[in-house]
Amino acid sequence: MSPAEYQAYQQEFERCTQGLTYLTTGNSCECESCSDGGEDEGHFSRYPCDTCGSRLAGQRHSAHAQAEPFGLVHLEVCEECLYYINYGRLDDQTMDEINHASKSNTLEKPAES
């Protein structure tokens, strides 16, 4: 992932989660859509991710948030969002890639003669 892609991802995440509070991952016993599912182990889905709009088919995990005036809403989020919701960043490998790329864009620019 490039720094620009990461920025776009963050913007999309902000947009999709606008108005949502108490965003958490995992199943919720208060939620009818997943309360009888036990542990959330993820499942394969072709639906877009609810919190970043990613259209890539892949693993989706349960997440929940409070949305006014509806109350608890059930969300299906991709693995990137699962990480981002919990840690506020993506996994180490992706963050390394982004940091590397942004450094080489700014600091390691070849000197122009």
List of residues contacting Zn ion (CB under 5 A): 31, 33-34, 49, 52, 54, 74, 78, 81
Residue closer to Zn ion (CB basis): 29 or 107: 29
Shortest Å, Cβ 41 to Zn ion: 14
The Cα 109–Cα 30 span in angstroms is: 53
Residue closer to Zn ion (CB basis): 25 or 54: 54
Shortest Å, Cβ 53 to Zn ion: 7
Residue closer to Zn ion (CB basis): 52 or 98: 52
The dihedral over CA atoms of 87, 50, 59, 4, expressed in degrees to the nearest 10, equals: -60
Shortest Å, Cβ 15 to Zn ion: 12
The dihedral over CA atoms of 52, 56, 60, 63, expressed in degrees to the nearest 10, equals: 10
Residue closer to Zn ion (CB basis): 30 or 96: 30
Using alpha carbons, select from 59, 56, 61, 54 the residue that is nearest to residue 82: 61
Structure-token match 């509806």, residue found: 70
Shortest Å, Cβ 107 to Zn ion: 30
